[in-house]
Amino acid sequence: MPPVEPATPESAPLPSPLPTVPSLTPPAPTPAATTQGITPYRITYTGQFSSYPVLFIPSDMSPYGAPDASWGFNSSVRFAYLEESHGGVTSLFTVPYPVWRINCTVSAWRNSEAAILRLLVVDAETGSILEGIEVRTPGSAVKRVQSRFRPLYLIVSTEKVDRVFISLETARDFL
């Protein structure tokens, strides 16, 4: 049997480096305008959120303020949406418009008095919360967001909600 040579620094296996920044999955495609307008894309929940910054939805959403005023009839265009019956964490997406809004509608016909929706819009690179929304009982809320070409995701928490419809919209002027 030949003699075994001792390991030298050059031949010793290098320890695997610890990850410093989690790798984020690429965001969903940005909406493309057509001659008839925009075809909205569906945002879905993901099971791959372990690389996202860890955030918890606060029990007190009052720091995010009241809902914003509506933009007026037929002045906005939907470019993305989420439609679910439960909460979750969405896949990453980007928004190409400088100003856009998130329009949430909550339906609850079984336990309408106890229905609650809490939603956070999170910057995936920094982990900072851009906006928060809370809707208690069936109804809707609109919040304006100013963030462009950043990877974002939504954290949606529901209690006793039968259906949630979240629409991402922009003003027609930005098309």
Spans of all domains in the chain: 38-48+64-174
Owner of token pair 């949430």: 104
Tokens of 15: 């320890």
Which amino acid makes up residue 145? V
Which pLDDT tens digit goes with each residue over 124-149?
A: 999 999 999 999 888 899 999 988 88
| Pairing assessment for the beta strands 116-123 and 129-136 based on DSSP bridges | antiparallel
Answer yes or no: are the C-beta atoms of 91 and 151 closer than 8 Å. Answer: no
Report helix, strand or coil for 165: strand
Q: What is the mean pLDDT of the chain?
A: 79
pLDDT for 23 equals: 43
**Percent helix / strand / coil, the chain, rounded to 5:** 5, 40, 55
Q: CATH classification of 38-48+64-174 is 3.40.140.10, yes or no?
A: no
Number of other residues whose CB lies within 10 A of the CB of residue 163: 15
For the segment 104-109, the average pLDDT, to the nearest whole number, is: 92
Please give the model's pTM, rounded to 2 decimal places.
0.74
Phi–psi pair at 7, nearest 5 degrees: -70, 135
Give the whole-angstrom CA distance, residue 67 versus residue 52.
27
Q: Which residues of 68-84 are buried (b: 16+ CB within 10 A; e: fewer)?
A: beebeeeebbebbebeb
